[in-house]
A and B are shown apart, each in its own frame.
Chain A
Amino acid sequence: MIPSAQGKRPMSLKVLFDNPPGLIGVVLLVMLLGIAVFAPQLSPYNPDERVGRPFQRPGEGHLLGTNDIGQDILSEIIWGTRASLTIGVVTGMLVTVAGTTVGLVAGCTGGTVDSLLMRFTDLVLIIPFLPLMILLAAFLGPSFYNLMLVIAVLMWARPARIIRSQVLTLRCRTYVEAARAAGASSGRIMVRHILPGVLPLAVAQFVMSASMAILIEASLSFLGLGDPVQKSWGSILYYAQARGAFLTGAWLWWVLPPGLLITLTVMGFAMTGFALDRYVNPRLNRRQVCG
């Protein structure tokens, strides 16, 4: 359990289970995590092995047919879950750590440091996101790690802004004032009193960033800017597109399943994120009265 800002409201899984969309989100993520963990047991074939004729239709021992070099598409999708979730989780963590650190330092320090950090954040925020990402991906080269780095480098700014605004409200709270009056150092106040207060928000940001990262990886891979050697849902889509699945009717078993899984994953992360958001910001739970 993570103590909340005031240390009064403990954050537990109940938060998610009380919220039906949150519950659905968690179930989806657990399911996908299960697929990733038990990929060796679940997949009918080794995804790197050529086990059939190229471009085989579903049937004949291949539930989703075979790809352009005769690898089983279902096995590719199951193993691709690992890569896609890894990208989501690792990138989400990178984004959250960077965003939280910048937001925390800027909010707690104030003055020139705050101004400098926030202007830099603004700069990153106003840069056209997709073109720069495509440019960076092309410049650094298509690799699994480069892709995570590129996504993280361009996504940390938004969480930084959000975390900073939360820090600004927290640093005026009485318990922080009290700690300051008692002679606590700035570092201690930041780590012991303010950081716990922003952690639930950081968790929500992590969830959102992870879903965005999965979506962006799939998009970049689809555009041929990912790593075509790495099995991921994005690279499956890339080969499907490059080898004519949209023209030959193979999209039904080659494009739709990984596309659906991407949608479900993003949905899972998003629903979990919304539930966490409602916990962090209880005003969202109040019924809106119009008119």
Chain B
Amino acid sequence: MLGRGRGRRLVGLVTSVILLVGIGTAVLAAEAPGLRIGMHTEEGGITPYSYVTGYPGLPMVRMIYDTLFIMNADRTPIPWMVREYSVSDDGLTWTLKLHEGIYFHDGVPLTSADVAFSYTFMTQHGHGPWQRSLRGIKSVETPDEHTVVIHLERVLPLFLQVPLAEVVIIPAHIWQGVTEPATITNATGSGPYRLAEYQPGHFYRLEAHPNYFHPEKRPSVASIIVPIIPDATTMFMALKAGEIDMGTRDVPPEMVEELAGTEGLTVVTGPSYVSTLLVINNERPPFNQVDFRRALELAVDAQYLVDIIRLGQATAGSPGFVHPMAPWVQAVPGPVKQDLPGASRLLEGLGFVDRNADGRREDPQGNSFRQTIITSAERPERVRAAQIIADWFKQVGLDTVVQAIEHTTVAARVWPEFDVTKGRNFDLAVWGWSAGVQENPLNLWEVLHTRGTLNVGAFSDPAVDAVADRLREVTARDGFRPVVEELARTVAGKVPFLTLWYPDNAYAYREEAHAGWVYVRGHGILDKLSLLGPAVAPGGQGGLAGRGALPWVILAVVLAGAGVMVARRKRRS
């Protein structure tokens, strides 16, 4: 039997050990392995030629590869790798001085030769936005290691944005002689993070670039684990459970309240330049008649779609297509008010009459008429929009069927091989354009001009073409506003397609893991700007590295305290 005193001491000792182990375990558990960003797609090797999607693929590429300029949170270009620049009086020659001490992740210095190589290589090898962005460049010269001189074929008013803030710089010593760029797996760049590990189907691991050049900005986290989580529910559950610190997936409106109310989670929302449309096949009768398209427009209530499908978290589409908050406009035509009797009158005027009183209008020749809306089955919001719109069309007597089919099939029927010259096979389709289309005013030409490469509905109108052509004559950034506004007004009466809504985006993150998230206008928070912080003194540690040391300090103090207590007791006894 133990004595009372010894028993108490034993209980005390056991309690202390349990407490110490508990504290130690808790402290160790508190140390995160790095910032954890759940990504909803897999993006291959994240090289400029292997990434898959514009989002989140391209922002990930931009973490690893730098650009000469960078778009700030307001989406205006600011110099990045470029220290200073000048332009000739005729606007055709740009001289760019690079910062010194820029290194690729493998330690090789980045010089003007790499810039020239990148621009030349990407002009020759098309993929994603690169080749298109470099149009208009005549030649690139490199008088010395840190100077790049670019000669243009014509004045490019958005030159700082496209291509300078768009096209990434790749290392010549790795890409030289490559003929099949998509096969390259070496993701060495000069960006703030390097790709340290990639387990296909599982995760990416990025680490801060130790020799990042920028005088004011440094990578703000030591390492980033990027697990691939394609399923939305799984991603948001992981966020709630604290298994990831941020999800690349936009939080749907119905989940915003739930996630915002979860302890430790912050939800940030903002407008997005993404647009959701009902594309009309302008080639196919009767959709080639503007009055028929106008009848469709009057039957649709864009604000209702915003209220029901997006729970109010979107902006109703403008008939002029341009987002009311786009950087190039001050005022665009407001959403069209639903007018079902007006739509019916227009249809009757065109000869679409219900002759046999079955509730469905026949075409002017007396034949039965049926139109089909195709939509991607994988996107429930779009299927729901198609169903509601079909209901409205039925109310004005247009027999309408909704076909929810696989997304790639929708793409193949609307935009076969991503080439509008390959034709189209649909009546109506719920479609969407990514943020970049609204952001660059020259893309409006591509969407609305008869020869535009994004004119998937084959819309053609001489008045719209004339205004769109004036976009290409603009020589200064400030010159876009009046032309874009006039284009929006002109398009509004022609109904090339129906712009349904521009969603507000919402993103959730754990502030305790990383508080530096920046909402980039029209784009969201997954951006290089979010993961750059102020430069610190040499030898200092910032971001997660600093946070990671704290638990160890606490543990050391606790252990030291326990040691002192034990020593004092021994001395007493």
Do A and B associate with each other?
A: yes
Interchain CB contact under 8 A, B380 and A239: yes
Interchain CB contact under 8 A, B254 and A248: yes
Partner-contacting stretch, out of A81-89, A171-179, A224-232: A224-232
Contact A69-B309, Cβ < 8 Å, known A141-B409, A142-B404, A243-B380? yes
Given the complex of chains A and B, what is the CA–CA distance between A243 and B406 in angstroms?
A: 19
Interface residues of A in 202-229 (CB under 8 A from B): 224, 227-229
Interface residues of A in 235-288 (CB under 8 A from B): 238-239, 241-244, 246-248
Interchain CB contact under 8 A, A246 and B237: yes
B228-267 interface code vs A (CB 8 A; 1 in, 0 out) = 0000110011001000000000001011001100000000
Interchain CB contact under 8 A, A247 and B404: no
Given the complex of chains A and B, what is the CA–CA distance between A244 and B258 in angstroms?
A: 10
Contacts of A196 in B (CB 8 A): none
Contacts of B255 in A (CB 8 A): 244, 247-248
B417 at interface by CB-CB < 8 Å: no
Contacts of A138 in B (CB 8 A): 406
- Residue of A48, A50, A68 ringed by the most chain B CB atoms within 10 A: A68
- From B236, B311, B380, B405, A142 is in contact (CB under 8 Å) with B405
Interchain CB contact under 8 A, B237 and A69: no
Interchain CB contact under 8 A, B233 and A68: no
Interchain CB contact under 8 A, A244 and B308: no
Given the complex of chains A and B, what is the CA–CA distance between A227 and B377 in angstroms?
A: 8
Contact A241-B308, Cβ < 8 Å, known A55-B254, A69-B384? no
Contact A246-B233, Cβ < 8 Å, known A68-B384, A229-B404? yes
Contacts of B311 in A (CB 8 A): 54-55
- Residue of B237, B240, B384, B405 ringed by the most chain A CB atoms within 10 A: B384
Contact A243-B254, Cβ < 8 Å, known A228-B377, A229-B404? yes
B545 at interface by CB-CB < 8 Å: no
CB of A221 to closest CB in B, whole Å: 10
Given the complex of chains A and B, what is the CA–CA distance between A146 and B533 in angstroms?
A: 54
B473 at interface by CB-CB < 8 Å: no
A70 at interface by CB-CB < 8 Å: yes
Given the complex of chains A and B, what is the CA–CA distance between A148 and B551 in angstroms?
A: 58
Contacts of A141 in B (CB 8 A): 405-406, 409
Interchain CB contact under 8 A, A227 and B404: yes
Give A50's nearest chain B residue, CB to CB: B308
Interchain CB contact under 8 A, A242 and B258: no
- Residue of A142, A238, A246, A247 ringed by the most chain B CB atoms within 10 A: A247
Give B262's nearest chain A residue, CB to CB: A247
Given the complex of chains A and B, what is the CA–CA distance between A55 and B254 in angstroms?
A: 8
Interchain CB contact under 8 A, A142 and B377: yes
Contacts of A50 in B (CB 8 A): 308, 388
Contacts of A142 in B (CB 8 A): 377, 404-406
B378 at interface by CB-CB < 8 Å: yes
Given the complex of chains A and B, what is the CA–CA distance between A54 and B254 in angstroms?
A: 9
Give A243's nearest chain B residue, CB to CB: B254
B372-395 interface code vs A (CB 8 A; 1 in, 0 out) = 000001101001100110010000
Contacts of B388 in A (CB 8 A): 50, 69
B81 at interface by CB-CB < 8 Å: no
Contacts of A244 in B (CB 8 A): 232-233, 236, 252, 254-255, 258
- Size of chain A's interface in residues, with CB distance under 8 A? 23
Contacts of A54 in B (CB 8 A): 254, 308, 311
CB of B141 to closest CB in A, whole Å: 51
Interchain CB contact under 8 A, A224 and B377: yes
Interface residues of B in 101-141 (CB under 8 A from A): none
Instruction: Name the interface size band of chain B.
Output: 20 to 34
A37-81 interface code vs B (CB 8 A; 1 in, 0 out) = 000000000001010001100000000000011100000000000
Give B402's nearest chain A residue, CB to CB: A229
CB of B40 to closest CB in A, whole Å: 14
Contacts of B258 in A (CB 8 A): 244, 247-248
Interchain CB contact under 8 A, B308 and A243: no
Interchain CB contact under 8 A, B380 and A68: yes
Contact A69-B409, Cβ < 8 Å, known A229-B383, A242-B380, A243-B252? no
- Residue of B377, B387, B391, B403 ringed by the most chain A CB atoms within 10 A: B377
Given the complex of chains A and B, what is the CA–CA distance between A54 and B255 in angstroms?
A: 13
Give A241's nearest chain B residue, CB to CB: B233
Given the complex of chains A and B, what is the CA–CA distance between A70 and B383 in angstroms?
A: 15
CB of B426 to closest CB in A, whole Å: 14
Contact A228-B308, Cβ < 8 Å, known A247-B237, A248-B254? no
CB of A34 to closest CB in B, whole Å: 29
Given the complex of chains A and B, what is the CA–CA distance between A138 and B236 in angstroms?
A: 26
Contacts of A247 in B (CB 8 A): 233, 236-237, 240, 255, 258-259
- From A69, A238, A239, A246, B308 is in contact (CB under 8 Å) with A69
Contacts of B236 in A (CB 8 A): 244, 247
B442-472 interface code vs A (CB 8 A; 1 in, 0 out) = 0000000000000000000000000000000
Contacts of B377 in A (CB 8 A): 142, 224, 227-228
Given the complex of chains A and B, what is the CA–CA distance between A228 and B378 in angstroms?
A: 9
Contacts of B309 in A (CB 8 A): 68-69
Given the complex of chains A and B, what is the CA–CA distance between A238 and B402 in angstroms?
A: 17
CB of A241 to closest CB in B, whole Å: 6
Interchain CB contact under 8 A, A242 and B232: yes
Give A248's nearest chain B residue, CB to CB: B258
Contacts of A48 in B (CB 8 A): 391
Give A239's nearest chain B residue, CB to CB: B380
Given the complex of chains A and B, what is the CA–CA distance between A4 and B377 in angstroms?
A: 47
Given the complex of chains A and B, what is the CA–CA distance between A224 and B391 in angstroms?
A: 23
Given the complex of chains A and B, what is the CA–CA distance between A70 and B236 in angstroms?
A: 23
- From B233, B254, B259, B404, A228 is in contact (CB under 8 Å) with B404
Give B304's nearest chain A residue, CB to CB: A50
CB of A242 to closest CB in B, whole Å: 4
CB of A231 to closest CB in B, whole Å: 11
Given the complex of chains A and B, what is the CA–CA distance between A70 and B402 in angstroms?
A: 19
Question: Interface of A with B (CB < 8 Å)?
Answer: 48, 50, 54-55, 68-70, 138, 141-142, 224, 227-229, 238-239, 241-244, 246-248
CB-CB nearest 8 A-B residue pairs? A242-B380, A244-B255, A142-B377, A228-B404, A248-B258, A228-B383, A141-B405, A244-B254
Cross-chain pairs A/B with CB under 8 angstroms, 27 sampled: A48-B391, A50-B388, A54-B311, A55-B254, A55-B311, A68-B380, A68-B384, A69-B308, A69-B384, A141-B405, A142-B377, A224-B378, A228-B377, A228-B383, A229-B383, A229-B387, A229-B404, A239-B380, A241-B233, A242-B380, A243-B380, A244-B252, A246-B233, A246-B237, A247-B233, A247-B240, A248-B255
Q: Kindly list 4 other residue pairs between chains A and B, CB separation below 8 angstroms, not including A242-B380, A247-B255.
A: A48-B391, A141-B405, A142-B405, A228-B377
